[in-house]
Homo-oligomer: A and B are copies of this chain.
Amino acid sequence: MDTSVPVWGVDVGGTTTKALRLDAAGAVLDERRAPTTGPDPDGTLVTATVARLLDGRDPREPVGVVVPGIVDDEAGVARWSANLGFRDAPLLRHLTDRLRGPVAFGHDVRAGALAEAADGAAAGVEGPVVFLPVGTGIAAATLVDGRPVVSEGWAGEVGQLVLPGGRCAGHRVEEVGSAAALARRAGEPDALSVARRVEAGDPDARALWDDAVEALAVATAALVVSVAPTVVVLGGGLSRSGRLLLDPLGDALAALVPGLRVPRLVTASHGDLAAARGAAVLARRADARTSPDGGDGALR
């Protein structure tokens, strides 16, 4: 493998598809965006969008593509997606047929976790790492020994957990704790606008904020008692509110897991480029795996 070759990381989001071209040190050489078109049950529209976005790419430069939803990495299939409408879409096959050169395929949140662990907020961390992006929806990825827990794509769906108590009992974590839910409930265009109202002392905004924090604490507590991460990296729109989120979340979490080791809560380093950067990590690994000179052991 020639590690000096640039790689491409492509993040297929619900509304926008982003492509990054990165050099071996992770510096951005090129950044491109295009609207995502859907619904796309079998993945052909997404494949066409990715191919157009990479127009003119040198086929020696490996590509990683990541998508949201229930993704079976090993099979290379996007089983299901609310936003994009995937239904067992064989995306790795489509992408390999359409693009020349090495192609990798995976899941956006797990890729984001790899990026944050590689050179982001969880770089050099010992023990399990959780990446928890809080944006339109909520899902988590857990790395154990640096490898994501996948379970055919079903692991980490903490946003779907029903809250068994509190003001929002009966609702799913995602319906209360996501950036989108918070904005919608407050009648604001985005979660940062809600954060500004909280900082200004608005009691209605504070109540909704507390609901979101409580929902996120329930989701994080589920991860703590299951895999005991040493660090939880919060990403997505809500993480940009920083300590306004982290401080009450740490308190609410500690109250839910008395006597246990509470993980360090940090905000993501790579912002909304974490998934694309993680897709590039997958591209390098896939290239290492398929190259005649073996590989660099990055799959450990």
Q: Residues of A at under 8 Å CB distance from B?
A: 127-128, 140, 142, 144, 149, 151-152, 154-158, 160-166, 169, 172, 214, 218-219, 221-223, 225-230, 255-261
Contacts and interface: CB of A to CB of B under 8 A. Distances in A.
> What is the copy number of this chain in the assembly?
2
A225 B149 contact: no
A151 B128 contact: yes
A165 B161 CA distance: 14
A230 B151 CA distance: 8
A162 B225 contact: no
B228 A227 contact: no
A230 B153 CA distance: 12
CB-based closest 6 A-B pairs: A165-B165, A154-B228, A226-B226, A222-B222, A151-B228, A164-B165
Contacts of A218: 164
Contact of A128 (B127, B155, B223): B155
A117 to B, nearest CB: 15
A168 to B, nearest CB: 10
Contact of A229 (B142, B151, B162, B258): B151
A227 B225 contact: no
Given A142-B227, A149-B228, A223-B226, 11 more contacts: A127-B151, A151-B229, A154-B228, A154-B260, A157-B225, A160-B225, A160-B259, A162-B258, A164-B218, A222-B226, A226-B226
A222 B140 CA distance: 12
Contacts of A127: 151-152
Nearest to A130: B226
Nearest to A173: B225
A77 to B, nearest CB: 15
Given A149-B128, A222-B222, A258-B172, A228 B164 contact: no
Contacts of A164: 163-166, 214, 218, 256
Contact of A154 (B160, B221, B261): B261
Nearest to A221: B161
8 contacts: A144-B149, A151-B230, A156-B225, A157-B225, A160-B260, A162-B255, A164-B218, A226-B227
A258 B159 CA distance: 11
A271 to B, nearest CB: 25
A152 B219 CA distance: 22
Nearest to A126: B152
Nearest to A217: B164
A69 B155 CA distance: 26
A261 B261 CA distance: 29
A154 B256 CA distance: 15
Nearest to A229: B151
